[in-house]
Amino acid sequence: MSKNEKPKVYLDWKTGRRFALVGGILLLMTGVGVLSANAKTSQDTKANVSSVFPDLPTDSHVNYKDAEPILHITLEDGSNSTLTKLFLDDNTPVFCVGLGIPLESESVTAQADATNQLFAKLSSEQKAIVNNVAFMARQKGDTEAYAEGRVAIYYLMDQYGVAKHKVADLKAVDGSEVQDMQKVKDGANDLIKKAEKMRELPSFNGQTIQLIQGVEKTVTDTKSVLPNFPYVKNNVPGLAENVSGNDLKLKADSSAAHGNVKNAVQFVNKSNGFTDNDLPYFIYSTDGDKTGDKSQSVIATKDPSNALAGLNVNIIGLGETTLLKHDADTNSTDTQGEAQLTGSVWGLYKAGTDTLVKYSDGQDDYPVTVTNGEKVDDKQVQLKLTDLTKGVGVKNLDNSADYEWGEVKAPEGYELSTKRYKVHFDDKDKFDDKTSNYIDDVTALDRVLRFNFGYIKAQDVNGSLTGLNGRAFRLTPQGDTKGDPIEVTSSQSEDASGFINNGQVNFSNINFGDYLLEELPQDNAKLQLINPISVTTNTNKDKDGNITGYTVEFKDTVTQQVITTLDVPITKTTDNNTMFKVNLGTLVDKPVTPVVPTIKTKAHDKNNKQTLAEKEISKDTVMYDDVELTNAKAGQEQTSTLHRRVKDDSGKVKDDKVVATAKATFDDKVEKSQENTVETKVDTTKDTKLPDTESAEYVWTQEIKQDGKVIAKHDDLDNQDETIYVPKGHTQVATNEIEPKPNQTFPDNYYAKGLTVGETYTVKVISAWDNQAKKEVPAKGELTFKATATSMTVQVPVTIDAADLAGHDVTLLEELHDYSGNLIISNKDKNDKKETVHVKDVTPTPSSSTTPSSTIPKSLLPTTGEGKAALAISIFGAALLGLAAYLKRQWIVTTYRRVIGKIRK
């Protein structure tokens, strides 16, 4: 190594978290390309780092004066060439590119020549590999490495097809420090491999890597060449990179822009930059010979050939947002009155619009997903709040966009607020490393619904109402309504018109719920207290469970008089939590006629049906009546009466008798539940003995008495809800005769009485009775129908195999079942002519004999009951036979058959 050469240096230049590259380092050598002029540099930079070796001279000499031979090269033609160390005037080693081309003197002129014809034959990649070989040989710095570099370049020029001569063998020179020729050969080949390896780019070069903000991703170079690229340029603000061995770690923070970035991170193999015309080497043409044929062309280098790699990134950012709902007054999930924070529905909107976010708006492989709440729409983000501690939420939103939570439906007892709650993601947000989402949570505040009411407390003095001041009243929450009792004292007040009122009582800002208003007793007071007044709030909903409004009722709890009822539509509660302000008027101690009870009933048997099953017919058939009441009071007496009514097929009542009566006095339990059930037993066996044209039914009636006076009754004997039917049924086949063939199909008309309208029934043909064989034979038929009246006729298709039943009478056996499978009616009378069909006899086949028989055919003989007509036919037939003796035999036979046929018809 000469005194002007610098020692080998490896630079790992990083500033802060980024590698810093300067100016022209982004330019490649010829054939490799140029970095984007628009690429963003790292925020921190340092001064340019120099190359491993000094700049090369453009004009110099190639010298070998006093250089001892290193080895001999045997060429393919058998001639020898001596390899000595060649160097420029500044002692920079140079490497021959043309084997067997002489240098005529120890010092010849050398000019850097980009148009050297020998080197111009190489491709850019081939030139780069040759340069890398020269660089690594120079970098090693010893004589053996120099020899290996020279031989490697000869090998390459031969491999590239531009060599004038080839290396056939190497021979050692006595006294040279390089004696192992095989080692030189191996070293030359190793330099070529390494030079080519230096040209390899990492396996991820040109690939697009998807990154999720906040999530570190490791990309591994499977070619294991990443260490050859120690200089990294990061072109994406908000993206951090780190190289360790063959692993590249990338992590985008929340400030990194979403989307695809070309050449987001780039890698080069050396620190210094170049212009388009700069090269890491010079080819020197000696003695002005550009061809390299007459005078040797040499290469000198100071740097490895430029190699540039890069990758693209596609950055996505995920955002998760949760909305919690609090009471505006308590600023917590603690509710007021009877209001509920659960049940509200929230939509997530694109900020500044009324457009709801769709679940399909998610990014690559990350659909928008519900984290909390219940979906009410499968396409758009609308969620019902079901858990106050969890709220409603979604994840995998595009966190570069802004959103707004908006209330779509208010929960019970709260106003519907149109306020929007903004969702914005930034680096201040918490990051969930399990879901890769930045989290921005918001809390919505809603006001509980409230109402106001007032009245005047007055004393009835000889028909004149006088307002009373100083009377105390208490409003106490009832049931599930939260809150403390509120006390207000009547006082003097001035109304909006300027009039002064005595006895004014005002209850203001009463939370949604149920209450009891009472007047408090006072010492020595002789005035009668007003009856307690219930304040009941009911929520109205449609068939889908959506709140449509509220109804608030003020009712005297003693007289049951409804003082006032106020309906509040849901539209009134939008951005408004005042339900109403109402003046109840003047409250005095005059009694009001009490509201009478109402009765609604439903009769049924033990199967909870209104048509008795066959197995229920007995001397102790149980019948029930479920009674629903309103305004029933303890102490009132209920009388339940069961009527037995017999009707004919036209519906006319033939008989009506009371078969059972039950009485009961209401207790506190009935007053609270407003319901009871009456039970009795009845003998229904006689109902089955009624003629076919009649049927029985049982009807309940109810009445309520108070102090011996009937105050309510329910006595409609034609009310189907109050009726229990004893069913009857009979059938009638639609045809009397069928063929003796397989699968004979015919209709059967089934008539049933005592059906429950709306119930579903099934008629089944169980089998058939062979009246001649005295046994059951297979038959099938079934029809399911829904009762539209208490009496119906349906037509059942019946199929029977009659092939073996010729001449027999067959009776159908049938059953009627309800939809639960209970047997209602059995129709299995084997002697029922209406259910009997006759199977025709088989028609005899005529004889083929041409000789008339003297025996009268059996079919022509009379049978029992045919009478004299049949006998006359037989005698006439015999006479014809006698006459036939005078005729030709063929004519006799023909005439006989025709006559007999006419007579039988």
pLDDT in tens, 103-115: 888 899 999 998 8
**Mean per-residue pLDDT, 326-352:** 94
Yes or no: say if 155 and 147 are a contact pair by the CB < 8 Å rule.
no
Cβ atoms of residues 184 and 71 within 8 Å: yes
> Is 259 part of any domain?
no
Tell me the mean pLDDT in the region 783-809.
93
Which of 397, 412, 446 is the C-terminal boundary of a domain?
A: 446
For residue 33, the model assigns a pLDDT of 31
What average pLDDT does the segment 126-152 reach?
Answer: 95
pLDDT higher than 90, residue 459:
no
Question: Would you say 272 and 50 are in contact if contact means Cβ atoms under 8 Å apart?
Answer: yes
Q: Which residue has the tokens 């479920």?
A: 626
Cα separation, 41 vs 237, in Å, equals 10
User: How far is Cα 82 from Cα 80, in angstroms, rounded to an integer?
Assistant: 7
CA distances from 478 to 329, 444, 447, 473, 512 (A): 21, 28, 21, 16, 11
Q: For 877-888, what is each residue's pLDDT tens digit?
A: 444 444 444 444
Helix (H) / strand (E) containing 151 = helix 143-159
Across 835-839, average pLDDT: 93
Of 587, 607, 631, the domain-final residue: 587
| Rounded Cα–Cα distance for residues 138 and 7 (Å) | 11
Query: Which CATH number fits the domain that encloses residue 376?
Result: 2.60.40.10
352 assigned to some structural domain: yes
312 within a domain of the structure (yes/no): no
**pLDDT for residue 254:** 87
Reading the block at residue 522, the tokens are 């006072």
Asked if 576 and 666 sit in the same domain, the reply is: no
pLDDT of res. 35: 33
Task: In whole angstroms, give the CA distance from residue 549 to residue 144.
Answer: 98
User: 863: pLDDT confidence band, cut at 50, 70 and 90?
Assistant: very low
Q: So what's the pLDDT on residue 594?
A: 57
Assess contact for 284 and 112: CB atoms under 8 A. Answer: yes
Dihedral of alpha carbons 401, 404, 408, 411, sign: positive
Q: Are residues 656 and 785 in the same domain?
A: no
694-721 b/e with 16+ CB inside 10 Å = b? bbbbbbbbbbbbbeeeebbebeeeeeeb
Q: Which of 126, 308, 312 is nearest to 201 (CA)?
A: 308
pLDDT of amino acid 851: 47
pLDDT of residue 447: 95
- Please say if the pLDDT value at position 15 is more than 70: no
Residue 128 lies in a domain: yes
Average pLDDT over residues 205-220: 93
> What is the rounded CA–CA span in Å between residue 621 and residue 618?
5
Q: Which of 180-189, 454-463, 474-483, 568-577 has the lowest mean pLDDT?
A: 454-463
Same-domain pairing of 407 and 419: yes
**Interval 817-831 mean pLDDT:** 91
> 434 with 461, same domain?
no
Q: Which residues pair with 96 in a beta bridge?
A: 298
Is 844 among the domain residues?
no
Share of the chain above pLDDT 90, in %: 64
- pLDDT category at 588 given cuts 50, 70, 90 is confident
Identify which has the larger pLDDT, 670 or 595. 670
Residues 471, 414 share a domain: no
Question: Which domain range does residue 636 map to?
Answer: 598-725
In this structure, are 32 and 179 located in the same domain?
A: yes
Given a cut of 80, is residue 870 above it in pLDDT?
no
Burial 437-456 (b: 16+ CB within 10 A, else e): bbbbebebebbbbbbebbbb
Q: How high is the pLDDT of residue 845?
A: 62
3-state secondary structure of 556: strand
What whole-number distance in Å separates Cα of residue 660 and Cα of residue 556?
38
In this predicted structure, the answer to whether residue 279 has a pLDDT above a threshold of 80 is no
The C-alpha atoms of residue 213 and residue 715 are separated, in whole angstroms, by: 77
Q: Which of 209-223, 261-275, 840-854 has the highest mean pLDDT?
A: 209-223
Say whether both 704 and 560 belong to one domain.
no
Q: Is residue 61's pLDDT more than 80?
A: yes
**pLDDT for position 649:** 84
Could you tell me the CA-to-CA distances from 192 to 142, 167, 196, 467, 559 in Å, in that order? 18, 15, 6, 116, 111
Q: What is the pLDDT of residues 717-762, one digit of tens each?
A: 988 899 999 998 888 898 989 999 999 999 999 999 989 999 999 9
> Contact at 8 Å (CB) between 699 and 643?
yes
Q: Are residues 508 and 369 in the same domain?
A: no
Q: Do 437 and 423 meet the contact criterion of CB atoms below 8 Å apart? A: no
Asked if residue 142 and residue 8 are part of one domain, the reply reads yes
**Residue 97 sits in the same domain as residue 137:** yes
pTM of the predicted structure, to 2 decimals: 0.49
**Do the domain assignments include residue 211?**
no
The answer on 414 and 322 residing in a single domain is: yes
- Distance, CA of 101 to CA of 296 (rounded, Å): 5
CB 674 within 8 A of CB 667: no
- For residues 905 and 902, give the distance between their C-alpha atoms in angstroms, rounded to a whole number: 5
| Domain end position, chosen among 408, 429, 446 | 446
21 pLDDT band, cuts 50/70/90, is very low
Give the end-to-end CA distance of the chain in Å, rounded to a whole number.
Answer: 143
Quick one: pLDDT at residue 892? 44
Residue 174 has pLDDT above 60, yes or no: yes
pLDDT at 692: 82
> How confident is the prediction for the chain on average, in pLDDT?
84
Helix, strand, coil content of the chain in percent (nearest 5): 15, 40, 45
Domain tally, the chain: 6
Instruction: Return the pLDDT at 276.
Output: 40
Q: What is the mean pLDDT of residues 855-881?
A: 41
Q: Tell me the C-alpha distance between 84 and 65, whole Å.
A: 10
Given a cut of 80, is residue 247 above it in pLDDT? yes
Least confident of 135-149, 308-322, 613-627, 833-847: 833-847
| Cα Dmax for the chain | 165
What phi and psi, each to the nearest 5 degrees, are found at residue 510? -85, 125
Digit-coded pLDDT (tens) for 636-668: 999 999 999 999 988 899 999 999 999 999 999
Looking at 323-327, 522-526, 773-777, which range is the least confident one? Answer: 522-526
Tell whether the torsion through CA atoms of 185, 190, 192 and 195 is positive or negative.
negative
Residue 704 placed within a domain: yes
- Predicted local confidence at residue 449, as pLDDT: 96
Name the pLDDT band for 522 (thresholds 50, 70, 90).
confident
How far, in Å, CA of 903 to CA of 881, rounded?
Answer: 15
> What's 499's domain CATH number?
2.60.40
Q: Flag whether pLDDT at 175 surpasses 80.
A: yes
Do residues 135 and 299 touch, judged by C-beta distance below 8 A?
Answer: no
Q: Is 263 left (phi over 0), alpha (psi -120 to 50) or beta?
A: left
Are 710 and 613 in the same domain?
yes
pLDDT at 846: 60
Q: What burial letters (b/e) apply to 835-871, b meaning 16+ CB within 10 Å? A: bbbebeeeeeeeeeeeeeeeeeeeeeeeeeeeeeeee
Residue 51 pLDDT level (bands cut at 50, 70, 90): low
Residue 286 contacts residue 110 (beta carbons within 8 Å): yes
The reply to whether 231 falls in a domain is no
- Summarised one tens digit per residue, pLDDT across range 592-643 is 445 789 999 999 999 999 999 889 899 999 999 999 999 999 999 999 999 9
Residues 556-583, mean pLDDT to the nearest whole number: 94
